[in-house]
Chain A
């Protein structure tokens, strides 16, 4: 093992130990009282899902299907040639005689 790599491995071990040596936070009763005050301030919860939550879940579930639909739609449009200006132009170029006759009537 190279000296730099060896030093790095040693440092990794030291840092891992330092991570676990972090001072443990102690909380008093006041912390509990404050937490419960915040909770009570929110009011009772019901098992009935909130409309917004339901909508959010529904929208996210539909996301892959929507993306797929957009991609498929884009491919279809490209295959069919969704270019109206180009279509009108080719009509004029290929069929000028019939078009001018039709315009007379």
Chain B
């Protein structure tokens, strides 16, 4: 109880930061770093996570005066994190730094084995998560940055179109159309791999 009383609320911390107390931002950083890292880890390659999470907090700090107290800070920060990840991919695609590795025979072999052996065993038990992840990365690298984000949020994470639109800052109609198109692209890519 005492801890709860001594723990300043997000609104109180934000007010202090806006009043010029930069050090108060450390409270927000500690409070939300796990949440931000969880989001960033899902969308960004492992070796870029730390730098991208830094960028999320820098953007949040700069945008704090525009934060409206109507929604929760957590939700607002989540949107910033998702948009920072989207910007990361846009930059990557623009500079063509994407690893465009093709699928190897080992991936193809794994895929055939896994799909032909549709038992009740999940893929964890077979200990071949690495191939699955590489196949997913390969498929996602063939999509545009925006298609990639929509696929990850709507198709893989299972968020609703409205939730994804809120995080990306796009209209619901835009996310709906993009979701449909990107899903079709992914389907074409994956069925191509299966039938190869």
Contacts and interface: CB of A to CB of B under 8 A. Distances in A.
A33 B111 CA distance: 44
Interface in A29-84: 31-32, 34-36, 38-40, 42-49, 53
Which label, helix, strand, loop or mixed, suits the secondary structure of the A interface?
Answer: helix
Given A4-B191, A36-B25, A44-B20, A10 B115 contact: yes
Contacts, number: 120
B33 A25 contact: no
Contacts of A25: 37, 40-41, 46, 49-50, 53
B38 A24 contact: yes
A45 B135 contact: no
Interface string B178-196: 0000000001001100110
B133 interface: yes
Contacts of A36: 23, 25-26, 29
A15 B139 contact: yes
B84 to A, nearest CB: 13
Contacts of B123: 14, 17-18
B136 interface: yes
A11 interface: yes
Given A14-B114, A14-B123, A45-B61, A19 B152 contact: yes
A21 B41 CA distance: 11
B118 interface: yes
B127 to A, nearest CB: 12
A11 B115 CA distance: 7
Contacts of B66: 49, 53
Given A38-B58, A48-B65, A49-B66, 9 more contacts: A8-B194, A14-B114, A19-B42, A21-B133, A27-B50, A39-B58, A39-B61, A42-B62, A45-B18
Interface of B: 17-18, 20-23, 25-26, 29-30, 33, 37-38, 40-42, 46, 49-50, 53-54, 57-58, 61-62, 64-66, 111, 114-115, 118, 122-124, 129, 132-133, 135-136, 139, 152, 156-157, 187, 190-191, 194-195
